[in-house]
């Protein structure tokens, strides 16, 4: 498991995701030799997002991001994808915690339509 800044950054994001709704569940999927820790996947009434760790960033990919309101422009990656949107965070990138939590809540609401 990664123990540098990426781990602490991922823990911060995980906390925000889980505080957005008490019923959100986390499971680890897609374990393989090149990624033995797997990928954290967050769900509630369907897939919400994944949390991946890369060499230079962590990435939160929202399964239905293109359908979610993002008035604070938290999404900064996969902006032209047809369905998904993502938030890439490097070590010192700022994150608007409140706006991020609202994105998670919007994803829950989308899944419940």
Q: In what order do the strands lie in the sheet with 39-43?
A: 25-29, 39-43, 47-53, 58-62, 85-89
- Amino acid 79: pLDDT: 94
CATH C-level class of 5-112 = alpha beta
Query: CA 24, 25, 26: angle at the middle one, nearest 5?
Result: 130
pLDDT tens per residue across span 56-68: 999 999 999 999 9
Stretch 95-108: mean pLDDT: 98
What are the residues whose beta carbons fall under 8 Å from the beta carbon of 29, sequence distance 6 or more? 38, 39, 41
Label residue 88 by pLDDT band (50, 70, 90).
very high
Q: For residue 1, is pLDDT > 80? A: no
Residue 85: CB atoms within 10 A of its CB come to 24
DSSP reduced 3-state for 82: coil
Tell me the pLDDT of the chain averaged across its residues.
94
How do the domains of the chain map onto residue ranges?
5-112
pLDDT tens per residue across span 15-58: 999 999 999 999 999 998 988 889 999 999 999 999 999 999 99
């Amino acid at each position: 498991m990664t123990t540098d800044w990426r781990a602490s950054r991922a823990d911060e994001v995980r906390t925000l995701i889980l505080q957005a709704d008490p019923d959100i569940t986390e499971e680890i999927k897609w374990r393989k030799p090149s990624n033995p820790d797997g990928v954290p996947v967050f769900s509630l009434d369907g897939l919400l997002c994944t949390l991946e760790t890369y060499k230079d960033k962590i990435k939160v990919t929202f399964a239905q991001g293109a359908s979610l309101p993002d008035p604070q422009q938290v999404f900064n990656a996969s902006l032209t994808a047809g369905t998904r949107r993502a938030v890439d965070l490097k070590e010192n990138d700022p994150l608007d915690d409140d706006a991020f939590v609202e994105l998670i809540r919007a994803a829950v609401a989308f899944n419940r339509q």
